[in-house]
Amino acid sequence: MPKDRSTTDSSAGVLNASGTNQGAPRGAKKPRLRRRRLRESDVNVVDQPMLKKALGGTIVGNTMEWYDVGVFGYLITTMGPVFLPEADKSVQTLFLLGTFAATFIARPLGGVVFGWLGDKIGRQKVLAATLMIMAASTFAVGLLPGYAQIGIWAAVLLVLFKVIQGFSTGGEYAGATTFVSEYAPDKRRGFFASFLDMGSYLGFAAGAALVSVLQLTLGQDTMEQWGWRIPFLLAGPLGLIAVYFRSKIEESPQFQATLDAQENLAKDATAADTAASKGPVGIVKAYWRSIIVAMILVAAANTAGYALTSYMPTYLTESKGYDEVHGTLLTIPVLVIMSLCIPLTGKLSDRIGRRPVLWIGAISTVVLATPAFLLIGVGEIWSTLAGLALIAFPVTFYVANLASALPAQFPTASRYGAMGIAYNFSVAIFGGTTPFIVAALINATGNDMMPAYYLMATSAIGAVAIYFLKESAQMPLPGSMPSVDTQAEARELVATQDENPLIDLEHMDMPLTAADAAEAADGDAGKVPARA
């Protein structure tokens, strides 16, 4: 049932967000107050062509980001001799894994900066900027001279460009999930948002496949001489195409409505108290519980995800005796199949809820991690593929739902900023550092099963966080009006709002009104009569 909130703080009329009615005459009668009822004009009917354009424009950015992750992760054993030829092979590997981790250490700052800008000036502008910086820094890596030309400065420049790239990607995923979630209809948000991660893993597979083709055709010696540059240089023209598509999308209707509301509040002294003006510190103070839950879930999902993608080629090569080519090729079919299944689990979450699907991801990680690495340890191609599939199974349930579940934990006015903080700090601490941590654990203990134990531990903690996650499937985003596919659905939603458990007027931050005036307005508009 919709929640009405009554008070006697103000005089008649529509009130501002703080519940005050400025300019009311002294001694005026103070009427009952409640949230204004939902009207048909409040409901956002999704523009389907614009939704498809927005989805495509955001997918290209995520694909570009993970293309680079795939290329770099699968070239680690090749690039070591290029930048540190005099070091031992284990030192070369740890340096490249550390460089990969440095990319993620830079992400929190990017998440804070771009998240704040995204809530202030708009999602579309910021997403275009992050994509340009990301593509340019990837392209620059392909132009770097090696150790033979400038000595240790080659390694320093590699770290620098990867840090710049990490800064830009700090605003990418948080912005993309926020943007698509705000564009999608409520009942299909999980399905549409899951395409972001499908694009991510397909981008990763594309980068890995390109590296594999180059390794097979050029050979390891040529790859170390100049072949490793090709995948990075391709990011230049690919980035220009992606920026073009992203520049064609419009601002999300949910955020545009919030901007319009804030402009109306700007004349009011209470405008300084809106969520958008709180900044990063204010966002953490206001939503720290949801941020902690989101960080734990991101840690659990990305530990499994990065173990499967970025670390597995190195693990297969250095711990299981596969050559560089087979270490790359074996993961590609698993990634492609997993990517194609991601929209299915996203659609499943629209039907049964985000939490049940995330439970499947967490519990299956705990159950399947040990058998997965035992199968990989057998050393046969069939067993390695089976082990990789067991790791991919929980990842499919994890990542398909974070893109829709996490943005729905925060109100529209501060969603980008909160997502930028929660997602990027967690990825920096747990996700991107996973390859480095598990490699160090194996080196320290000599136990090849350490990756399995690490995944089990993070998912066990993640399972606890799911308990505290607020269910959001089919519900309007906090601080936004409902979003539907058709006008007929909008009419039905308004007519049945009293019986609809998904409609919560306070959750949507519906304006406070004087009850009698609101009822009269609703009646004059020919809508469903309001109740006191």
The domains located in the chain, with CATH, are: 45-266+277-468 (1.20.1250.20)
Residue 164: pLDDT band by 50, 70, 90 thresholds? very high
The whole-angstrom distance between residue 152's C-alpha and the CA centroid of its chain comes to: 35
Q: What would the two tokens of residue 93 be?
A: 């590997």
Phi, psi of 45 (to 5 degrees): -95, 120
* pLDDT computed for residue 121 by the predictor: 85
Q: In which element (H, E) is residue 512 found?
A: strand 512-514
* C-alpha triplet 275, 268, 272: angle, nearest 5°: 30
pLDDT averaged over every residue in the chain = 83
pLDDT digits 0-9 by tens, 124-148: 889 888 989 999 999 999 999 999 9
Query: Is the pLDDT at 234 greater than 70, yes or no?
Result: yes
Mean local confidence (pLDDT), 459-479: 93
Amino acid 4 reads D
More confident residue, 84 or 4: 84
Query: Is the pLDDT at 519 greater than 70, yes or no?
Result: no
The whole-angstrom separation of Cα 194 and Cα 184 is 11
More confident residue, 372 or 504: 372
pLDDT digits 0-9 by tens, 13-56: 444 444 444 444 555 555 566 777 888 888 888 888 888 888 88
pLDDT digits 0-9 by tens, 432-445: 677 778 878 888 88
Of the CA atoms within 13 Å of residue 340, those in its CB half-sphere come to 5
| Burial of 245 (C-beta count, 10 Å sphere; 0-12/13-18/19+) | middle
* pLDDT computed for residue 263 by the predictor: 62
* pLDDT computed for residue 97 by the predictor: 81
The contacts of residue 141 (CB under 8 Å, 6+ apart) are 158, 161, 162, 165, 232
Lowest mean pLDDT among 71-85, 150-164, 260-274, 341-355: 260-274
- What's the full length of the chain, in residues? 532
137-175 burial, b if ≥16 CB within 10 A, otherwise e? Answer: bbbbbbebebbeeeeeebbebbebbbbbbbbbbbbbbbb
* pLDDT computed for residue 434 by the predictor: 78
Query: Is the pLDDT at 269 greater than 50, yes or no?
Result: no
The whole-angstrom separation of Cα 342 and Cα 352 is 15
Amino acid 382 reads W
Residue 348: pLDDT band by 50, 70, 90 thresholds? very high
The whole-angstrom separation of Cα 26 and Cα 11 is 9
The whole-angstrom separation of Cα 190 and Cα 192 is 6
The whole-angstrom separation of Cα 162 and Cα 91 is 19
